[in-house]
């Protein structure tokens, strides 16, 4: 069987979705009209998102494209770097969290009421002094302060800090300072770490 055949790729991706409800699927049509599906779009080709997916509970429209995500990231990079610097975090980590939480969208609201780039819950936003969670600068400064607080709380264990960011610090503490056995939280930690590795690799290449 041709492993690049669209039908084979579709079956493979669907099997993967059975274990991960947060997969991101992109479609690419080549010059000969053949369609390819992937969860890792390549640069230089016009991929389009064809499956609805969730970033930290905030649903992203299926019309979104990889190019549009990159454009939003580029626009927000100065604010992300400033917020990361103020909270003594690596920009690549903040980028990873923002991408996982909102795909760099400032206007998303999750089903639980979390708002904006770093998906701040209303009570959390108030505790961080954030008056408008839709404002990217306020959201980033509040979110990075919260993430920095969690890192200190869990002795700079990044996995636990990310789990706490997703599920709350009390959930992590109640499970003996371990990642809670929540599928959503476990997928979230894996996703953010993967994005973090990707952005760190990009930074190393850019510095050469």
pLDDT in tens, 20-79: 334 455 565 667 666 655 655 655 556 665 544 444 445 444 446 788 889 999 999 999
Q: What pLDDT shows up at residue 186?
A: 95
Q: CB burial class (10 A; 0-12, 13-18, 19+) of residue 24?
A: buried
Residue 72 and residue 196: Cα distance in Å, rounded? Answer: 17
Q: Are residues 79 and 182 in the same domain?
A: yes
175 alpha-carbon distance from chain centroid: 24
Which whole number is the average pLDDT over 133-161? 97
Better-predicted residue by pLDDT, 10 or 92: 92
Which whole number is the average pLDDT over 174-183? 96
Q: Are residues 41 and 107 in the same domain?
A: no
Number of domains in the chain: 2
The greatest distance separating any two alpha carbons of the chain, rounded to the nearest whole angstrom, comes to 58
Q: What pLDDT shows up at residue 30?
A: 65
pLDDT over 70 for what percent of the chain? 66
Better-predicted residue by pLDDT, 208 or 99: 99
Cβ atoms of 84 and 61 within 8 Å: the answer is: no
Model confidence band, residue 84 (pLDDT cutoffs 50, 70, 90): very high
Phi, psi of 106 (to 5 degrees): -90, -15
Alpha carbon separation from 80 to 11, 92, 95, 111 (Å, rounded): 38, 9, 7, 25
Of these ranges, 30-44, 110-124, 139-153, the one predicted with the greatest mean pLDDT is 139-153
Q: Is 184 annotated in the active site?
A: no
Query: Looking at beta carbons, which pairs linking 65-72 to residues 24 or more positions away fall under 8 Å?
Result: 66/26, 66/41, 69/99, 69/103, 69/104, 72/103, 72/104, 72/105
Sign of the Cα torsion 12, 51, 44, 100 reads: negative
Residue 159 and residue 166: Cα distance in Å, rounded? Answer: 11
Q: Which residues contact 103 (CB under 8 A, 6 or more apart)?
A: 55, 58, 60, 64, 69, 72
Q: Where are the alpha helices (DSSP H) in the chain?
A: 6-17, 66-86, 91-102, 122-127, 136-153, 158-167, 169-174, 183-206
**At residue 180, does pLDDT exceed 50?**
yes
Which whole number is the average pLDDT over 150-156? 98
Q: Are residues 34 and 115 in the same domain?
A: no
Q: Are residues 25 and 125 in the same domain?
A: no
Q: Which domain holds residue 89?
A: 67-206
Residue 198 and residue 95: Cα distance in Å, rounded? Answer: 10
Residue 178 and residue 172: Cα distance in Å, rounded? Answer: 6
Q: Are residues 24 and 95 in the same domain?
A: no
Q: Are residues 37 and 90 in the same domain?
A: no
**At residue 100, does pLDDT exceed 80?**
yes
- Name the average pLDDT for the chain: 80
Q: Are residues 24 and 115 in the same domain?
A: no
Q: Are residues 160 and 74 in the same domain?
A: yes
Model confidence band, residue 111 (pLDDT cutoffs 50, 70, 90): confident
pLDDT over 90 for what percent of the chain? 60
Q: Are residues 90 and 187 in the same domain?
A: yes
Q: What pLDDT shows up at residue 58?
A: 52
Catalytic annotation, pick one of 101, 169, 184, 198 = 101
């Amino acid at each position: 069987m041709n492993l690049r055949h669209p039908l084979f790729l579709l079956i493979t991706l669907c099997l993967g979705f059975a274990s991960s409800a947060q997969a991101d699927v992109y479609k690419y049509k080549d010059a000969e009209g053949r369609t390819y599906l992937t969860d890792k779009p390549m640069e230089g080709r016009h991929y389009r998102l064809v499956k609805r997916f969730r970033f930290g509970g905030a649903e992203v429209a299926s019309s979104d494209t990889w190019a549009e995500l990159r454009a939003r990231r580029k626009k927000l990079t100065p604010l992300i770097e400033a917020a990361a610097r103020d909270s003594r975090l690596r920009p690549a980590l903040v980028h990873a969290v923002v991408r996982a939480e909102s795909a760099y969208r400032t206007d998303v609201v999750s089903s639980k009421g979390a708002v904006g780039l770093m998906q701040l819950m209303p009570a959390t936003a108030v505790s961080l002094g954030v008056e408008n969670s839709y404002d990217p600068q306020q959201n980033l400064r509040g979110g990075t302060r919260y993430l920095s607080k969690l890192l200190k709380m869990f002795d700079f264990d990044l996995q636990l800090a990310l789990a706490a960011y997703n599920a709350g610090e009390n959930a992590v503490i109640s499970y003996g300072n371990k990642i809670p056995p929540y599928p959503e939280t476990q997928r979230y930690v894996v996703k953010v770490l993967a994005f973090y590795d990707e952005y760190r690799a990009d930074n190393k290449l850019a510095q050469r």
